[in-house]
């Protein structure tokens, strides 16, 4: 095992998490790692290397939202569960997503010009057809950005440079991530939307999600508010028909997951208070959903009915002559007990 130039780990222990099947033949495979941990940081089971160092990407959004919530944005600005759920999600630009972002900005006394995320079009096809053109409010991270701006206002800080690593708001966010992860942040970079992105071992990401579940169950206000918000507004975590939203809907809010870029995913089982984290090593977006379902199935977090219900949101068709001839599907993996 040796450090890669990017700072992560390349390990022979990686497992096949997703398979690409074309006409009954496995054409490609995606390797990666998955880990289950409890709220004390103990690794309960793993496939591949649980110590793999990864950027959290958008898996960090629930943790970032909790950091901002702790600045009393609800009390000071009147922001309720809809805004919190939106801050924790990567939205698809549907009308309810955009409306929520605008309400958060208005509560903070700001407008869309304050957003520092890039201009984009909605990923939801219906919403994209209705959009007048690319705008920051349509970016999948605009809910988080609007909530961060609200946090800066609540904290009495300037809003122009709220994305800068040295901004007081980002210091609060970094501290919250390290607290939930139970580990020191190993590296800080720039995420796709412009805010700081943090690198941690995959097991620490699983621990962070386990702590969301454990703290919510223990009645900690922030974690409990987050869980209630996402359960109440599941479409805000991703969008209509999207995997993270479907997992909440199909499991009755037992499993909360959050996808990130470059093949990262994390989830919490609120019944067992365990966390799970997955990384597709090559970062392929097509493998992220199948890899997450492979891990959730191996961890016995989904029964057969639930798996079948969420599969359409995760499986990508493989085309031949413009017709489906296969798919990118979850692999059968084993999570070894530690």
Reported as a single tens digit per residue, the pLDDT across 66-77 is 999 999 999 999
Q: Count of CB atoms within 10 A of residue 25's CB? A: 9
Q: What's the structural domain count of the chain?
A: 1
Answer yes or no: are the C-beta atoms of 270 and 227 closer than 8 Å.
Answer: yes
Per-residue pLDDT at 336: 83
Task: Answer whether residue 90 is part of any domain.
Answer: yes
Distance CA 217, CA 293 (A): 25
Domain residue limits at 31: 12-337
Share of the chain above pLDDT 90, in %: 95
Exposed/middle/buried for residue 257 (C-beta within 10 Å: 0-12, 13-18, 19+): buried
The reported pLDDT for the residue numbered 1 is 36
What whole-number distance in Å separates Cα of residue 276 and Cα of residue 328? 21
CA 79 and chain centroid, separation: 21
In CATH, what number is assigned to the domain containing residue 262? Answer: 3.40.710
- Tell whether 153 is covered by a domain: yes
251-284: per-residue pLDDT in tens?
999 999 999 999 999 999 999 999 999 999 999 9
Structure tokens at 167: 């901004």
Q: What is the pLDDT of residue 8?
A: 53
Q: Is residue 150 a part of any domain in this protein?
A: yes
Q: What is the pLDDT of residue 337?
A: 74
Residues 6+ apart with CB under 8 A from 51: 9, 201, 202, 203
* Exposed/middle/buried for residue 328 (C-beta within 10 Å: 0-12, 13-18, 19+): buried
Residues in the chain, pLDDT under 50 = 1-6
Phi, psi of 107 (to 5 degrees): -65, -30
Q: Determine, yes or no, domain membership for 114.
A: yes
Q: Is residue 3 part of a domain?
A: no
User: In sequence order, which residues have a C-beta less than 8 Å from that of residue 221 and are 6 or more positions away?
Assistant: none
């Amino acid at each position: 095992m040796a450090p890669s130039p990017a700072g992560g780990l390349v390990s022979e222990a990686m497992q096949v998490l997703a398979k690409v099947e074309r006409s009954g033949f496995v054409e490609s495979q995606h390797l990666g790692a998955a880990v289950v941990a409890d709220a004390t940081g103990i690794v309960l089971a793993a496939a591949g290397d649980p110590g793999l160092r990864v950027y959290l990407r958008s898996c960090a959004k629930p943790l970032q939202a909790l950091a901002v919530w702790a600045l009393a944005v609800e009390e000071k600005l009147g922001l309720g569960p809809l805004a919190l759920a939106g801050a924790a999600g990567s939205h698809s630009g549907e009308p309810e997503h955009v409306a929520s972002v605008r309400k958060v900005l208005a509560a903070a006394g700001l407008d869309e010009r304050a957003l520092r995320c890039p201009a984009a079009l909605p990923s939801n096809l219906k919403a994209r057809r209705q959009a007048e053109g690319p705008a920051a409010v349509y970016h999948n991270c605009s809910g988080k950005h609007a909530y961060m701006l609200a946090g800066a206002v609540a904290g009495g800080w300037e809003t122009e440079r709220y994305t800068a690593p040295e901004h007081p708001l980002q210091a609060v966010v970094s501290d919250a991530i390290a607290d939930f992860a139970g580990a020191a942040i190993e590296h800080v970079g720039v995420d796709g939307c412009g805010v700081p992105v943090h690198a941690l071992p995959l097991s620490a990401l699983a621990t962070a999600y386990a702590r969301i579940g454990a703290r919510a169950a223990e009645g900690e206000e922030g974690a409990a508010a987050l869980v209630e918000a996402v359960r109440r507004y599941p479409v805000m975590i991703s969008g209509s028909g999207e995997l993270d939203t479907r997992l909440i809907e199909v499991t009755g809010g037992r499993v909360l997951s959050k996808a990130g870029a470059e093949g990262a995913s994390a989830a919490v089982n609120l019944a067992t208070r365990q966390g799970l984290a997955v990384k597709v090593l090559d970062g392929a977006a097509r493998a992220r959903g199948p890899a997450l379902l492979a891990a959730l199935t191996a961890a016995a977090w989904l029964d057969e009915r639930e798996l079948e219900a969420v599969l359409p949101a995760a499986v990508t068709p493989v085309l031949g002559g413009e017709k489906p001839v296969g798919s990118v599907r979850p692999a059968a993996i084993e999570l070894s007990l530690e």
